[in-house]
Amino acid sequence: MILIFFFSFNESLSKKICEPPIIKSEKEIISALKVCDPGDKLLVRFDLKVQSERLIVKLCDLEHTIITKEDIGIIHKRKSGLLLICIYEPS
């Protein structure tokens, strides 16, 4: 009985990893993130045309660590682009 309670409680605290499709413009931000819930771990790939600073301010909980990877040398490969990892908290 205690194990069932522990696993159900632990499951409710853990959030999913939300990985929307690549965001190619600022207009796509809201529609791409409809699958994400506040508090989810967010892994966003975005195009060079989208400013990472705007994404961070709009999407991330600034109380937690934010990780960015800006490797513009591999933009032409599939599933590549700039990368942002944070806790999703839309403003």
Q: How many CA atoms lie within 13 A of 11 on its CB side?
A: 6
Give the pTM. Answer: 0.70
* CA–CA gap between residue 8 and residue 58 (Å, rounded): 32
Residue 79's pLDDT is what? 61
Class of 15-87 in CATH: alpha beta
Alpha helices in 1-91, H assignment, sequence order: 2-13, 29-32, 52-59
* CA–CA gap between residue 69 and residue 26 (Å, rounded): 18
Residue 6's pLDDT is what? 44
Work out whether strand 82-87 and strand 41-46 pair parallel, antiparallel, or are unpaired: antiparallel
pLDDT in tens, 16-34: 999 999 999 989 998 999 9
Residue 12 reports pLDDT greater than 50 = no
For the chain, which residues make up each domain, given as ranges?
15-87
